[in-house]
Amino acid sequence: MKQTLIRNGTVLDIAADGTTATPIPQQDVLIKGNRIDAIQATGAVDARHFDRVIEANGQLIMPGLINTHAHVPMVLFRGLVEDMPIDRWFNEGIWPLENNLEPEDVYWGTLLGMIEMLESGVTTVADHYFHMHHSVEAIEKIGGRALLGWAIFGSLGQQAVNDTADWVEEINGSGTSRIRAWMAPHAPYTCDDDFLRATAKKANQIGVGLHIHASETKAQTEASLSARGITPIQVLEETGIFDQPTLLAHCCGVNERDIEIIAKYQKHEGGIAHAPKTYLKLGEDIAPVTAFREAGIAVGLATDGAASNNTMDLWEPLRLMSMLQKDRLGAEAMPIPQALHVATRSAAQVVGLADDLGAVEVGRLADLVLVDMSGIHHTPLHQIPASLVYNTRPTDVTTVLVDGDVVVENGRVTAIDRDEVVSQAKARMERLSRNRPDQRIQTYNP
């Protein structure tokens, strides 16, 4: 088994209960195969015993960040639809644009988004999109970790449930341990109850979880209540979605009873994805992250798609989450250790890898990020955790490992030709930006 040594870093120790975040200086991290084998004071091992030695030189060693909900290929649409409320954003903007999407766009868009994520320290993404065989190909090539969902709408019928379930089984059975798949019905407002039930049943049969948009806005909750007397979260409960591990995207529109329901079904896998930048930009409600955590629900950070979020790094959502909880609840809400807990351990649970990711600990997968905190914007570095949350730039990330493999070195992905990806993205711009609102893939009318 390949052995890797990360020498002389400051290990960030985030307590399992989220109450503390402690930097431990002058540590060596020893990796055997794809897992952390030991963490110890630097200097005790002979570097010659390792296949690879990474000199941390005092940089921070932290767990890879986890993007718990994205539509990665949508980087190809970024900046095209701005300053619009959610209904117009969907109906006049994104859903007409997505009508231009061709399968191969997903390959290049995924590579483009993965470059941005990996180079800023995001090692795992829970992606929810179309033509996902191309996503698999791209993520394998660049060396990331992913939990993928092939998005389906109710209008596609049972065949889509069966087809995507076959694909999920194929992925999970392929031995590609970095890439797993769950079922991915789009949302309660685009999937009728029978379709949700069929998807839940299928997920149960094949033993996987579900990744679904849920209660994105208060208006969705109100529309559901007014149309049928129950909330979108209650719809998910009634249709059996919650009987499997569930990754719920957004949940900005939940009421107190919804929170109780979600908490009741919280499992060792699954939770809520929180994408604060997107929902701020849309002027919608902000998910009650603190209430979720108090109820025992796992929450992770997310970017959503770059068509709404513009960027794919998680440093901005990390501090947005913290600051918005303070905005809603006061300055003592979401203290720094909690924020880091959301970004790491809690997010690992959301994507179903609570025991494998989210901490620099012996036995966990070696998905690790080295952060250079010597920049002017961190100086003087009185408090590492504070600076990590409120000062870090994506460009502070220098080295990224996934499964013990170095996938980013000197701030650049190692496995692919970046210039080719940029060229491919540019070549697609004109076609992808054609907007014919009468030709859209769905209509937003929750």
Instruction: Report how far residue 442's alpha carbon sits from residue 340's, in angstroms, rounded to the nearest whole number.
Output: 37
CB of 65 to its own copies, least distance (A): 15
Q: Is 327 in the site for its own copies (CB under 8 A)?
A: yes
Taking CB under 8 A as the criterion, the residue among 395, 439, 443, 445 binding its own copies is 395
For residue 184, what are the β-bridge partners? Answer: 151
Instruction: Report how far residue 418's alpha carbon sits from residue 340's, in angstroms, rounded to the nearest whole number.
Output: 30
- Touching its own copies, residues 68-127 (CB under 8 A): 75-80, 82-86, 89, 112, 115-116, 119
Whether the CB-CB separation of 437 and 106 falls below 8 Å is answered with: no
CB of 9 to its own copies, least distance (A): 19
For residue 274, the SS3 value is strand
Q: At what angle do helices 193-206 and 157-172 cross, to 10 degrees?
A: 20
CB of 393 to its own copies, least distance (A): 6
Please report the beta strands in 82-205, taking only residues with DSSP state E, as ranges in sequence order. 122-129, 145-152, 179-185
Q: Is 132 in the site for its own copies (CB under 8 A)?
A: no
Q: Is 429 in the site for its own copies (CB under 8 A)?
A: yes
Q: Is 67 in the site for its own copies (CB under 8 A)?
A: no
Q: Please choose, from the candidates 297, 221, 226, the residue with its C-alpha nearest in 3D space to the C-alpha of residue 265.
A: 297
Question: Could you tell me which stretch among 62-70, 147-155, 212-220, 428-436 binds its own copies (CB under 8 A)?
Answer: 428-436
CB of 231 to its own copies, least distance (A): 23
For residue 67, what are the β-bridge partners? Answer: 125
How many CB atoms within 10 Å of residue 251? 27
CB of 404 to its own copies, least distance (A): 25
Q: Is 281 in the site for its own copies (CB under 8 A)?
A: yes
Instruction: Report how far residue 113's alpha carbon sits from residue 228's, in angstroms, rounded to the nearest whole number.
Output: 39
The footprint of its own copies (CB under 8 A) covers 75-80, 82-86, 89, 112, 115-116, 119, 277, 280-284, 286, 310-313, 316, 322-324, 326-327, 329-333, 335-336, 374, 376-377, 379-383, 386-387, 390-391, 393-395, 418, 422, 425-426, 428-429, 433
